[in-house]
């Protein structure tokens, strides 16, 4: 069953068709990779799904419900979480506070709760702080909890951003290049976190350039080129797909 | 002695103004340049209620705060669309509009003639006439404001405000209704600024639009930036320094015709030095990007 369905989605930027009449679907419980050369429209597609950009035309349906023109915070409440190609932590907040934000809800984050300093709010804060600390511990970053996020290494930032999205407990996770720019030692940790989501019944849709990573982590691959779907299949199928090689390298595989 | 107490009263009022602006500017990260507009609404509301309807300042003051908060909602609206310099200009413009209304709606405000004879606060039938008694009242409001704002910024609500300052897009991606938080921050900031305006009016007993000019808004902004944005102590440091430093000129025997323009120049100079050597302010740790 398709958890995410995209129909005839388009987005133009001053005549550039970043996403061009695109239709695709992401199966529930799958780890689906989205690949394609630079400028193929991958990030734009994520921005369209999550409401950060408005499509020129077309529809996005999530779990049977149309979400096309909802604002970003409403799309989150539907159960879609995302990370960004350029990591976006809150630099001058502690790592723990970065993780507290997705764990907290509108009840305890209201002005009224702040003014009254309600006991319920303080209890919730306490349990959330424990949850946040556990999340950090699970990736060996417990000692970083009280440091500002800006003190983290780039790879640690990517990892914390992913954790922060997971703390939303989304049904669909969108990761935009989760391992790019990260030291090789960090890559297995991040891939492990991504793959664990399957066991939690979550669906993952992620953008990635490295074919090896895709082979390792994904069970479906969708190839985007000039804003259109070029191919779709298992990693093995895609790896042997002639058109994909042409899109990536500008020539056919095994061509003379 | 009364002169010294007077300076402290004025400092206290500016601390409230700077603290309330700090919530918007230092915590939510929204450059708001028209803060005196809220003080203006607070001051005129409780003054007119007292003068025209004999309503006690004890009731007029919170009503002034509430009316200022409503204006805060309107002034905050551009923040849901505009960012950075554009937002600063929009809030500046709205501040100027409020000033013009106060100056030109003569039927209501008597315009440039101002409102004389505004009643003082009374307690158990005794007017708070001595300066020391008013200082106690202002001190009470300073403590109350700092306490409430501290409570707000250390709460989960405040954490969302800071997240908006740090990265609005990321905050949205975590499901925060960023626009609603911005508007709330503006309204709370405006509420306390309204109260400060009302405290000023019932102390001086005379107001006219010149107390609420754009230049005054910029002075308050400078206090926040000077003391340190995004810290509770910052506005205390900033307001104290910027009220008391220029006053010291008088002790140097400077006539007020020289002292007044000199005050503006000192502010300008301080701002330049600050940006060069300590952009996060004296006790702050956040600076403009
Ligand atoms: N905000 C924007 N304004 C203008 N053009 C954009 C914007 N975002 C993306 N584009 C253009 O859309 C195309 C697709 O970009 P993008 O989605 O970032 O590609 P990818 O993530 O696949 O590398 C590019 O030509 C890019 O220049
Ligand atoms: Mg991209």
What per-residue confidence (pLDDT) applies to A255? 41
Report the DSSP beta bridge partners of residue A11. A19
Interface confidence (ipTM) of the complex: 0.92
Q: What residue spans define the domains of chain B?
A: 2-213
Q: Are B156 and A108 within 8 A, CB to CB?
A: yes
Q: Are B169 and A52 within 8 A, CB to CB?
A: yes
For residues A27-37, average pLDDT: 93
The terminus-to-terminus CA distance of chain A in angstroms comes to 42
- In sequence order, the 6+-apart residues with CB closer than 8 A to the CB of B125 are none
What pTM value is reported for the model? 0.92
Residues in contact with ligand 1 (CB, 6 Å cut-off): A 13, 16, 18, 36, 38-44
For residues A132-136, average pLDDT: 95
In contact, A154 and A184? CB cutoff 8 Å: no
pLDDT in tens, A76-119: 999 999 999 999 999 999 999 999 999 998 889 999 988 998 88
Pairing of strands A80-82, A172-176: parallel
- Taking contacts as CB-CB distances below 8 angstroms, the residues of chain B near A108 are 156
Name residues 153-212 of chain A within 8 A of B (Cβ). Answer: 164-165, 168
What per-residue confidence (pLDDT) applies to B156? 96
What per-residue confidence (pLDDT) applies to A253? 47
Both structure tokens of B149: 């704002």
Statement: residue A173 has pLDDT above 60 = yes
CA dihedral sign, ordered B231, B237, B240, B245 = negative
The terminus-to-terminus CA distance of chain B in angstroms comes to 44
What proportion of chain A, given as a percentage, has pLDDT over 70?
A: 95
pLDDT band for position A250 (cuts 50, 70, 90): low
Interface test with B, best of A52, A73, A82 (most B CBs within 10 A): A73
- Taking contacts as CB-CB distances below 8 angstroms, the residues of chain A near B172 are 52, 71-73, 76
d(CA A141, CA A135): 9
pLDDT in tens, B212-237: 988 889 889 989 988 888 889 999 99
What per-residue confidence (pLDDT) applies to A256? 42
Higher pLDDT, B96 or A210: B96
Return the SS3 of B207.
strand
* Residue bearing tokens 């300008």: B268
DSSP assignment string, B105-141:
-HHHH-GGG-B--PPPPEETTEE--SHHHHHHHHHHH
In contact, B146 and B232? CB cutoff 8 Å: yes
What per-residue confidence (pLDDT) applies to A154? 93
d(CA A191, CA A213): 8
Statement: residue B11 has pLDDT above 80 = yes
d(CA A84, CA A103): 19
Closest CA of chain A from B185, distance in Å: 9
Minimum-distance CB partner of B162 among A93, A110, A115: A93
For residues A154-173, average pLDDT: 95
For residues A227-246, average pLDDT: 84
């Amino acid at each position: 069953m398709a958890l995410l369905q995209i129909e005839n989605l388009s987005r133009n930027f001053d005549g550039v068709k970043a996403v061009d009449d695109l239709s695709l679907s992401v199966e529930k419980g799958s780890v689906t990779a989205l690949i394609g050369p630079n400028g193929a429209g991958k990030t734009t597609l994520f921005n369209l799904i999550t409401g950060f950009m408005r499509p020129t035309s077309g529809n996005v349906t999530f779990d049977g419900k149309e979400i096309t023109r909802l604002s970003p915070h409403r799309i989150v409440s539907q159960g879609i979480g995302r990370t960004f190609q350029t990591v976006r932590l809150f630099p001058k907040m502690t790592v723990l506070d970065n993780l507290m934000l997705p764990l907290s809800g509108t009840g305890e984050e209201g002005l009224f709760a702040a003014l009254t300093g309600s006991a319920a709010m303080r209890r919730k804060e306490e349990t959330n702080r424990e949850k946040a600390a556990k999340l950090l511990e699970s990736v060996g970053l417990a000692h970083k909890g009280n440091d500002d996020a800006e003190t983290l290494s780039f790879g640690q930032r990517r990892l914390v951003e992913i954790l922060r999205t997971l703390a939303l407990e989304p049904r669909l996770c969108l990761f935009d290049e989760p391992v790019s720019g990260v030291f090789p030692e960090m890559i297995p940790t991040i891939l492990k976190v991504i793959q664990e989501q399957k066991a939690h019944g979550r669906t993952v849709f992620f953008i990635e350039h490295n074919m090896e990573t895709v082979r390792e982590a994904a069970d479906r691959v969708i190839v985007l080129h000039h804003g259109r779907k070029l191919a779709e299949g298992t990693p093995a199928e895609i790896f042997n797909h002639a058109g994909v090689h042409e899109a990536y390298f500008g020539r056919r595989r095994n061509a003379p | 002695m009364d002169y010294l107490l007077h300076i402290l009263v004025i400092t206290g009022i500016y601390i409230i103004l700077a603290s309330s602006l700090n919530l918007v500017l230092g915590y939510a990260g929204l450059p708001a340049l028209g803060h005196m507009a809220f003080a203006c609404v607070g001051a005129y509301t409780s003054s007119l209620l007292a003068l025209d309807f004999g309503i006690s300042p004890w009731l007029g003051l919170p009503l002034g705060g509430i009316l200022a908060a409503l204006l805060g909602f309107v002034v905050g609206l551009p923040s849901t669309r505009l960012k950075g310099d554009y937002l600063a200009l929009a809030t500046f413009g709205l501040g100027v509009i409020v000033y013009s209304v106060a100056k030109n709606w003569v039927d209501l405000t008597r315009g440039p003639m101002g409102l004389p004879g505004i009643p003082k606060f009374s307690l158990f039938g005794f007017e708070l006439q001595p300066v020391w008694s008013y200082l106690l009242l202002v001190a009470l409001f300073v403590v109350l404001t700092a306490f409430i704002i501290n409570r707000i910024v250390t709460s989960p609500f405040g954490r969302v405000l800071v997240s908006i300052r740090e990265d609005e897009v990321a905050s949205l991606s975590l499901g925060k209704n960023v626009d609603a938080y911005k508007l709330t921050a503006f309204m709370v900031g405006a509420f306390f600024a309204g109260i400060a305006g009302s405290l000023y009016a019932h102390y001086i007993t005379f107001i006219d639009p010149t107390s609420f000019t754009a230049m005054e808004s910029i002075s308050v902004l400078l206090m926040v930036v000077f003391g340190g944005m995004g810290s509770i102590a910052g506005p205390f440091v900033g307001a104290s320094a910027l009220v008391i430093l220029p006053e010291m000129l008088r002790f140097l025997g400077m006539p007020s015709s020289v002292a007044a323009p000199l005050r503006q120049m000192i502010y300008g100079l301080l701002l330049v030095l600050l940006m060069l050597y300590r952009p996060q302010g004296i006790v702050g740790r956040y600076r403009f990007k």
